[in-house]
Every structure is written in structure tokens, then in C-alpha cells.
Copies of this chain bind each other. A is one copy, B any other.
Amino acid sequence: MMTETTLEDFLSALASRAPTPGGGSAAALIGAMGAGLISMVCNVTLGKKGMEEVAAEMRTVCAESESLRVRLTSMIDADIAAFDGLMSAYRLPKGTDAEKAQRSAAIQQSLVAATQTPLGCARACAEVIKLSQRAAQHGYSGVISDAGVGVLAAQTALRSAALNVQINAPLLADRAFAAQASAELEELLAQGARTSEAVFALVRSRLVQAPV
């Protein structure tokens, strides 16, 4: 499990010529970091005197961001599995017509997984961006910059995951599924860009007022 390696070893593996972990796992990890930072903002706010009014909201946001963090963390390895599945399919024999048909079917099956996995990552990141708005509005000002890093991370992870959908969707034989995935992705990207910049601007405005 890639999630059980150290940061140091993960970074070395990322930099190596091995195809995995690559951009897809990096997107999932950056998204999980975004979710984790939103949880942190909630957890710190919950420990502050004078912030009791927002405690219920912070508890709700934190429960959702923790669930998203778990989902995104699992996608670090899911991306590797999807990539390996696709590579195995491409390596199947293609000597006879029967082999060619079998290989083609296996490739298509793997492409569906290699499209759904990053699409799921993009969806989860879009949820993190929405949550970051509530954390940036109500979170303790002393950790508001962490909400800012969280929303930037989630937005970058969303755009990164999108690249992997955009690579694989054009190769899908199931054009209806490909069109549906692309349309959903464009909506997630557009909404993500709008919301994340609004949240970042909110963070910047609250940064100025932060207590010394």
C-alpha cells in the first residue's frame, strides 16, 4: 500500500521513471491534504473558547471532510490499480482475431475504471471545495490560512484528476458514458474554479484581520 510508505519514499517513487505513482496518485494525495486541512481548521476552532456558536457547524463540516479524506486517501492506491489494469490489458496477446477481440474488451473495461477513478477523485475534491467555504467563513481566524491552503490544494487536485479523465475518456468505445463523464467533469471544473477563488478571496480578507 502506497499510503503506508514514508513521505520521503513516496516522493522518490514519484520522481522515478516508474509510471506509478504518477499524477493520478499525486492528485488524490493533494486532495486528501486539502480535506485534512479543512478538518484541522474545524478541530482547532472546536477547541477555542468563544467559538461555541459555530461548534455545531464545525462538527458537521469536520465529519464530512474526514469522510472525504478517507475516500481521497484510498484513491492514492486506486489510481495505481487502475493504471496497472490498463497496462496489463495493453500487454495481452494480439496474435489471433479471438485474442485481439479479448484484448480490446479488456482494454475497454480497464479504460472505464481508469476514467471512473479520476472522476471520483474530481467529485470528492469538488466536495472539499464546498466544505472549505464553510470552514473559511466560520473557522477560527488564527488558522484561517490553513483553510486557504486547503482550498487551493482541493482545486489543484480537481484540475489534476481532470487531466486523467481527459486522457482516457476519448479512448472509450462507450461514447454515451464518455460524453456523460466529460460533461460532469466540465461542470465540476467550472464550479470548482468559481468557488475556490471566492473562498481564497474570503481567506485573504480574514487574514488581514487575524489577531496578532
Contacts and interface: CB of A to CB of B under 8 A. Distances in A.
Nearest to A27: B149
The copy count of this chain in the complex is 2
A2 to B, nearest CB: 7
A119 interface: no
Interface in A21-77: 22-23, 26-27, 29-30, 32-33, 35-37, 39-40, 43-44, 46-47, 65-66, 69, 73, 76
Contact of A26 (B11, B12, B26, B153): B153
Contacts of A11: 32-33, 36, 69, 73
Contacts of A15: 35-37, 39-40, 43, 65-66, 69
B7 A29 contact: yes
A169 to B, nearest CB: 11
A36 B30 CA distance: 14
Contact of A171 (B7, B39, B145, B212): B212
Contacts of A12: 36
A2 B10 CA distance: 13
A8 B4 contact: yes
26 contacts: A2-B7, A3-B6, A6-B6, A7-B29, A11-B32, A11-B73, A12-B36, A14-B36, A14-B39, A15-B35, A15-B37, A15-B43, A16-B39, A16-B40, A16-B43, A22-B40, A22-B149, A23-B145, A23-B146, A23-B150, A26-B33, A29-B33, A30-B153, A145-B166, A145-B167, A152-B159
